[in-house]
Amino acid sequence: MSNKGLNRLFNYLNKATTTLNKHSLKLIIFVMMLVLSIGLTASCQNKAKRNSAMEKRENRVTEKIFKSDEEWKEILTDEQYRILREKGTERPGTGLYDQFFIKGRYYCAGCGLELFESGSKFDAGCGWPSFSIPADKKSIDENRDISYGMVRTEVVCSRCDGHLGHVFNDGPPPTGLRYCINSASLVFKSEEDIKKEMDQSGK
C-alpha cells in the first residue's frame, strides 16, 4: 500500500476512534446520570417512608383517648382502675413486675401504648418496678404532685392520662432517673410474643 493510502487509512481510523470516544463519553455520562437519578429517587422514597412511619408513630403516641368512668370500669380490673384512674399506689413488693426481668416491652394497661422496654428496667430495691428511661419520651407526661405533704413528679400515660407512678432523680447513669411505676398500670409482652404478633400481622 502506498504512503498516500496509509495516510488515508490512518486518518479514517483516527476519525473513527475520535467518534467512538465521543459516543463512549456520552454513553458513560448517560449511564452516570441514570444511576444518579435512580439513587436520588430511591433516597427520596426511603426518606418519605421513614417520615411516614415517624408520623404514624407520633400520631399513635399523641392521639388522646377519652372515656367515661363507667367505660373505664368496664375494661379495667378494680386494682387497675384504682391506680390508673384514681391515682392509687400498690403496696411495695406486691406488684407483679417488681422482681421481673424477662426481655420484652411494657404497655399501658389502660390504652396499650408502649411505655418502657425491658432493657431500661433495673432493681432499685424500692418495691416497685423501676425504669431509667421511657421507650419514647412522648409516651409519658409529667405533672407536679403535692399530695400527702410531698412535692413529687407524677408520670402519666400521654394517650389516656392513666396514672403510672412517679419519677425521681436517683436513678442509674446515664439518665440519673428512676421511673417508679405501679405494676397494675402495666401490661407486659415478651419478645417472643411480640414477634409472633408481628408474624401474624405480616409486618
Coil, strand or helix at 112: coil
Largest CA distance in the chain: 115
What is the distance of C-alpha 26 from the center of its chain?
A: 46
C-alpha cell at 128: 416497685
Catalytic annotation, residues: 180
DSSP secondary structure letters along 78-93? HHHHHHHTT---PPTT
Compute the half-sphere exposure of residue 57: CA atoms within 13 Å on the CB side of its CA: 13
